[in-house]
Amino acid sequence: MFKRILIANRGEIACRIIRTARRLGIETVAVYSEADRDALHVEMADTAVLIGPPPAAQSYLSIEAIVGACRKTKAEAVHPGYGFLSEREAFPLALEKARIVFIGPNAKAIAAMGDKIESKKAAAAASVSTVPGHLGVIADEAEAVRIADEIGYPVMIKASAGGGGKGLRIAASRAEVAEGFARARSEAKSSFGDDRVFIEKFITDPRHIEIQVLGDKHGNVIHLGERECSIQRRNQKVVEEAPSPLIDATTRRKMGVQAVALARAVGYDSAGTVEFVADQKKNFYFLEMNTRLQVEHPVTELVTGIDLVEQMIRVAAGERLALKQADVTLDGWAVETRIYAEDPVRNFLPSTGRLTRYRPPDQTSTDGTTVRVDTGVAEGGEISIHYDPMIAKLVTHAPSRAQAIDVQARALDTFVIDGIRHNIAFLAALMQLPRWQEGRLSTSFIAEEFPDGFHPLVAQGRTALMLAAVAAVLDDIGNARKRAISGQLAGPAVRFANKRVVRLDDAEFIAEVERQDGSATVTFSAPEPATLALQSPWRPGERLWDGTAGGRQVAVQVRTIPNGYELSHHGVTVRAHVFTELEAAAARLMPEKTSFDAGKAVRCPMPGLIVSIAVAEGQEVKAGETLAVVEAMKMENVLRAERDGVVKAIHAKAGDSLAVDAVILEFS
């Protein structure tokens, strides 16, 4: 077994690998760019080496820098994690030349499967079901359009190298093929250094199902069941689970046999994933093979009890797999959500900044359920523009799918993050959707469920009553605390009105609170009579009200605002103002603040890098035309004209780094 390994990655996956290595008694070496000098993975590792400036091409993608760090620290092996160099054939070859072990598959397997065009040819040769398409390299837009016409729309334009949704576009027309081809090539070039793309038929209403495989260097290969990864946005996975609610035992066996056959055909000898696209009738087709550890590997670990990182390390050290296929059993259900630094109400635009508060949920396993948080950040850390926007992965496990979803929903409610925008409210809302709970999924799920984009859920019915009751109790506790302040002026004790008016956005509740220790009874006289019993040890200043409401376990996030609180629960976020009846009468007369009007300026929607400006000063522009392309966190975003107009002035150029809301151009 190795004494010291280097992790050629950053963020949550670097921290994840360090934890397993530490358990195995292996020393770890972290590498970091100047932007990650204070990162969590640097703090966790036994040793850390600076390898370059913030841009990944000059640090985490530099094979020379990684090999140099290995020599400097005498690391015997390298784990690449996922992304960056994990699927570059040149990386294990360079390590082999330097007599350093690569904790991953052999270079030939990476070459065969890492290239999506070649992998489809290999899959067809191994009798694996494949999607109809054109597997040759496409020269230009004209050829791309011609091929798409032959295959039939819709089609998928996909980068041959890499993964993670980068360099992938769905096109339903000739015009979309032309633009999608250009964007896919550009993203592929910047992300993977390879601008080759191919085109294949896009399966309507598809599901994304993948099989985890595991091989050793002695010819043994097994699979660990499937994961469902159909909940995607912009071709990137958002929620994953294992097993899949679609797949039965027979289909699982068929998919597993094909995945293992493909792995054996290319001599695969590590952890890897064979991805399939499946229709709603359980017909499945090979999509690609990821020759690395997947982001969503924790759901497989929780249902199988197998540590995939440990297996990769043991296999790389030359050990045989200790497991046979018959030893693999699936126990219970696991659900994973990806916590991203992005703003769901602004079309999920990336968000950067400092984590002024980061409090993950309790990870104690109780009642046969598990909560696991894989992260690479800590409170006070900064989310950088240079890398992937993932903050953490929240994974829950329970005996059944319904229970795993319930545990996930509660864990999301108790995950407190401040300082940047994030998608927790979106994920919490998704957990409440009947279609998700019933397992009726497809890769277009988010687009279909949120056709007009995501908007925070409105408090209604029992949820509104519960939030109003919590706000009333919080206010009562605050008033009691004010009464206890020392050094107050002499005279009669301050008397607080018994009745409170709680305004939840536009709805009003009139309530009275009777409180004793951690228990309270809230009696409502309007909008209709009701009584709710609450219990919680909450104290002023805490961000989480965790207790029971009407006998049901409830977690509500609390943020103080003038005259009240911002409360969040199950994807619902409300501003709860608490007034006396006299104050409420005055508040009703206050004017509403109008929304911001950007006028005739086109502003940068997120902190990002200007890739290109598509117009010139004085140019007439029609609604829908491309104005500029902005890259943030490895994704390109096209800014289009909302209306017809003439470009008056351009304030940015390609290569500029802009802050959010910086003016890019103006219309006359």
Residue 366 DSSP one-character state = B
The torsion angles phi and psi of 278, rounded to 5 degrees, stand at -125, 145
Joined tokens for residue 667: 């219309």
Run of H or E including 198: strand 197-201
Helix (H/G/I), strand (E/B), else coil: 610:
strand
Residue 300 burial (10 A CB sphere; 0-12, 13-18, 19+): buried
- Nearest residue to 427 (alpha-carbon basis) of 463, 475, 461, 395: 395
- Nearest residue to 8 (alpha-carbon basis) of 55, 63, 88, 76: 63
Neighbours of 141 (CB within 10 A): 16
Residue linked to tokens 């929780």:
302
Longest dimension (CA), the chain: 91
Joined tokens for residue 472: 């009333």
- Nearest residue to 549 (alpha-carbon basis) of 525, 565, 530, 566: 530
Both ends of the chain: CA-CA distance in Å?
A: 68
Q: How far is CA 577 from the centre of its chain?
A: 32
Report the alpha-carbon distance of residue 430 to residue 338 in Å, rounded.
Answer: 12
Helix (H/G/I), strand (E/B), else coil: 19:
helix
Q: Which of 27, 76, 275, 288 is catalytic?
A: 288
- Nearest residue to 155 (alpha-carbon basis) of 123, 128, 127, 184: 184
Residue 361 DSSP one-character state = P
Specify whether the CB–CB gap between 371 and 411 falls below 8 A. Answer: yes
Report the alpha-carbon distance of residue 13 to residue 16 in Å, rounded.
Answer: 5
The torsion angles phi and psi of 138, rounded to 5 degrees, stand at -100, 130
Rg, Å, the chain Cα set: 27
User: Would residue 382 show up in a list of annotated catalytic residues for this protein?
Assistant: no
Helix (H/G/I), strand (E/B), else coil: 117:
helix
Find out whether the peptide bond into 527 is cis, omega within 30 degrees of 0.
yes
Amino acid at 529: P
Report the alpha-carbon distance of residue 145 to residue 111 in Å, rounded.
Answer: 28
Report the alpha-carbon distance of residue 229 to residue 208 in Å, rounded.
Answer: 5
Taking CA atoms, 247 is separated from 226, 243, 325, 522, 542, in Å, by 8, 8, 18, 47, 43
Q: Which positions are annotated as active-site residues?
A: 288
